[in-house]
Structure 1
Amino acid sequence: MASSRAVPNLAFRRLRGRRSPAEFAAAVRRSAREIGEQVACDARYIGRVESGEIRCPNYAYERVFLHMFPGLTLADLGFAAREQVRGRAARAPAGPPPAAQITIRNDEESDVLRRAFMTSGTATVAAASLGLGGLAGAGLGTIPAPRAGRTFGETEVEAVEEAVRRIRLLDDRYGADGLYRRAAEPLRMAYALLDSGTPARQSTADRMQAGTGELALSVGWLAHDSGRLEDARSHYAEALATARVAGDQALEAHAFSNTSFLARDEGRFREAVRAAQAGQHAARQLSSARLLALLTLREACAWAGLGDRAACEQALGRAHALFGRGPCDADPEWMSFFGEPELEALEAQCWSALGDWPRAVRHARRATALQNPHFTRNLALYRAQLATDLARSGALEESAAAGERVLDLLGEVQSSRIRAMLVDTVRILSPQRSTPAVAAFLDRRAALDRV
């Protein structure tokens, strides 16, 4: 919550000019993509900067702002010196003992750790660096656990929102297997805070509902990707219930998207169709063509699972038309993964389910070629899909080569989903061991299993 002593950042406000906060936030996100950064900038963040609540941006935002306004310094942008802000953040307020707290890091510390764990090589270290493993240290803030007569406020809401961003960032890089158990505790605490009472401001209550639901979906996805499908179903149902109670259509659409994906993976294709269609119904008033495109792709994949080629092709056509409208400010933050590579990958899955291997291979190739190497997990996933489709199409050496490239990433990415796809590739290729490239891939895969 902004301090009563916060000084409005008039310099930053002048730089925004006649653009609305939402338009300026969109420009910030575009600039971040230009330099390979990821920032979850929205109109509310711009408002916090202009009000003086954010006195100095984290390192990621600093790089983006200096890229947007070459030749200017942070001081020119109206920000305080980082050392001054860091000095204040290091003095933690008094509170209950550590056992009764969950922890978050300030913006600067979060970004330092992000860059550190990006090169650490293990999901375990990365999860601990996020505060999901119980680490404590300098620069940590604290959120008191709910107590009698006390409810949550802006600080607690921001901690929940930050936990969601960190989990997504780690999953993009490392996959879910090493993160799921550590992520369950922040979710438990978020629901405890939500149950502690209603804050004075309805906007704070709404954000806590939305943040907790998104956290449930993030934790559910970690369960889903690590093969804990019953746990995933439970978390997705929690999020859907939270959305319904709050009347939050954006959260409801997200919950139905994940539920459809899970139902398809479980072989419950008609349920997957219904969930995808329910998500589209919830999303129609949200002005995000990209969200509708993703939900329509979920429907297409479900029709493919049912073997209904005509219905699948119709849904794919609608999805491409929606995707072609382009991104907009109404696109949810969680959809940062959904670009052209994911569109191609999901279409590849449709043709694969329908047994049309040439088309599946064509789209899987596009997905791997277009994917930003920064998103290591998705790159490994797309390559695993390509390896399987190539194997089924009879392109044995190419399949083995694609499989080798997946193995190159498995030391960094921990995903049961990807390992299961490789098992499928191994099963198809095993009878073709007489091909040298296939034998080399199978031997390397077996050696990794023994480690």
Structure 2
Amino acid sequence: MLGRPGSALFATRTPRPDEATLYQVGNADGSPGRAGVDSADLSFAEAMDAFRRADRRLGAAQVYPHVLRYLRSDVAPVLFDACEADAQSAFRAAVVLTDMAGWMAHDLGRDDLAGAHFAKALAFARSVPDATLSANVLAAMSHLALEGDRPGEAADLAASALTMLDTKERPPALSARLLAMRARALARGRDRAGAYGAMAEARRELGRTQAGPPPWWVAPFDEGALAGETALMLRDLRLFGAADLEAQRAVRLRDRQPGRGHAFGTIRLARILVDRREPERASAVGSDILDSCLTIGSVRITRDLTGLARSLDSYRDLRVVAEFRDGVARVNRQRGRLLRPLLPAVAPAGPRP
């Protein structure tokens, strides 16, 4: 049960040859295995890799049902019928994969369900001694609070998570992510000095070296992600010129990683250009990703494209703007036809704490 290859997680159909690499597992450089993973955790870590890679390329609509199925079929039985070592591994897997299910529900536009998944993941995390698991979930909850325009809650969640982490051994990616969430929350409250300070600390933290690899369950957070969060912070502070530069940097750092993250970064840049009253440049930037968005199973992409088009309404008489708005309408119609059969009937699922 615990030794299935990543491709077996998507057993409802056989991947086409051009999709095969999406389901491979291993290190980011393509080498087999995953550094720093205990043998008891290896199968779960490989499953997480497979799901994460597929989710980035395909979007949540195609992957979310498989994550729920894996939680039921592979994780839940081990939680309640295993030796102590296997049970600890299963609890870690339950935390990570339930957290992942929360992100996917968020991508499908179901923030209520995302919050339920995150709450369940946090309950699992409290059954495991390693505080990084709880802190990782709290980072996701902080992000969701920001998306729901609850900056005070977002700041409190990030601060709570930071207090859990060991000062010397905390994973730089996790602490940087939490500091970035705190910076964005402070920016929403118009605390410019506090926001700048927290984001500067996040940048220093991300550059800190750590002995050995981070725990396998810590969500990735790199320079591209930090640039994107910085752009959003600066936008909330209405520093649109600086936000433009950071958003451009985030897009450049994602150029070789096509998929949902690149699309979100490009839409973010276009929205900042609208804020700068540069509608033609915003339309040109947005047009560059329309075709690549066609088959990404993300409700948020549809909503963000629609929001970008609406933000250009007062410029609709400009030819390049009109063409972009027509392109968004065309792509969203096609996305609807392609993705409607893939959208799962999202309902709470998975093992219970």
TM-score, normalised to structure 2's length?
0.81
- Which residue of structure 2 aligns with residue 232 of structure 1? 114
Q: Are 1:432 and 2:315 an aligned pair?
A: yes
Is 1:203 the counterpart of 2:85 in the alignment?
Answer: yes
User: 2:9 & 2:67 partners in 1: Cα distance?
Assistant: 16
Pick the aligned partner of 2:62 from 178, 187, 194. 178
Q: 1:326 to 1:425 in 2, by over 3 A?
A: farther
Q: Which runs of 5+ in 2 are unaligned?
A: 25-38, 335-353
- The match for 1:325 is 208
Answering whether residue 101 of structure 2 is matched by residue 219 of structure 1, we say: yes
Return closer, same or farther for 1:198/1:300 CA change in 2, 3 Å cut-off: same
Q: Counterparts of 2:300 and 2:135 in 1: how far apart (Å)? A: 23
In the TM superposition, residue 359 of structure 1 has moved relative to its aligned partner by 1.5
Q: What is the Cα deviation at residue 282 of structure 1?
A: 2.0
CA distance in 1 between partners of 2:5 and 2:66 (Å): 20
Equivalent residue for 2:18, pick from 119, 123, 130: 119
User: Could you report, residue by residue, the CA deviation over 1:114-139 in whole angstroms, capped at 9, with x for unpaired residues?
Assistant: x965834xxxx999x79xxxxxxxxx
Letter in 2 for 1:440: E
Percentage of identical aligned residues: 28
Q: Which residue type is aligned with residue 227 of structure 1?
A: G
1:382 to 265, 271, 276: 265
| Structure of greater relative contact order (alpha carbons < 8 Å, 6+ residues apart) | 2
Is it true that 1:311 corresponds to 2:194 in the alignment?
A: yes
Q: How many residues align?
A: 317
The SS at the match of 1:333 is coil
2:251 is aligned, of 335, 351, 368, to 368
| Counterpart for residue 145 of structure 2 | 263
Q: How far 1:161 moved relative to its partner?
A: 3.3
Residues 1:319 and 1:428: Cα distance change in structure 2 (over 3 Å): same
2:148 partner amino acid: E
State the shift of 1:212 in Å.
1.4
Matches within 5 A, 1:47-446: 105-106=4-5, 119-120=18-19, 158-190=42-74, 192-199=76-83, 202-285=84-167, 286-326=169-209, 329-335=212-218, 337-446=220-329
SS in 1 for 2:214: coil
Query: What letter is aligned with 1:271?
Result: E
Q: Shift of the alpha carbon at 1:269?
A: 1.2
Identify if the C-alpha distance between structure 1 residues 334 and 403 changes in structure 2 by more than 3 Å, giving closer, same or farther: farther
Give a deviation string over 1:307-336, Cα, whole Å, max 9, x none: 322221111111111122246524233556
Provide the C-alpha distance between the structure 2 equivalents of 1:208 and 1:108, rounded to a whole number of angstroms.
Answer: 20
Unaligned runs of 5+ in 1: 1-101, 131-153
The alpha carbon displacement at 1:343 in A equals 0.9
Residue 244 of structure 1 aligns to which amino acid in structure 2?
R
C-alpha distance in 2 between matches for 1:384 and 1:186? 32
Distance 2:2 2:204 in 1: 44
Bigger Rg, structure 1 or 2: 1
CA contact (8 A) 1:392 1:428 kept: no
CA distance in 2, matches of 1:296, 1:416: 28
Q: How far, CA to CA, are the matches of 2:3 and 2:148 in structure 1?
A: 35
Q: Tell whether the 8 Å contact from 1:401 to 1:437 is kept in structure 2 after alignment.
A: yes
1:395-447 CA-to-partner distances (Å, cap 9, x unmatched) read 11110011112212112322222222222211111210121111110111112
CA 1:187 to 1:327, structure 2 compared with 1: closer, same or farther past 3 Å?
same
| Paired residues of 1:291 and 1:332 also in contact (CA < 8 A) | no
Question: Aligned partner of 1:342: which letter?
Answer: A
Question: SS of 2:312's equivalent?
Answer: helix
Instruction: Determine the structure 1 residue equivalent to 2:341.
Output: none
Give the whole-Å Cα distance in 1 for the aligned partners of 2:17 and 2:310: 33
Question: Considering only aligned residues, what root-mean-square deviation do their CA atoms show, in Å?
Answer: 2.9
CA 1:326–1:393 in structure 2 vs 1: closer, same or farther (change >3 Å)? farther
Once the two structures are superposed, residues 216-241 of structure 1 have per-residue CA deviations (whole angstroms, 9 ceiling, x without a partner) of 11111111122111111111111111
TM-score w.r.t. the length of structure 1 is 0.64
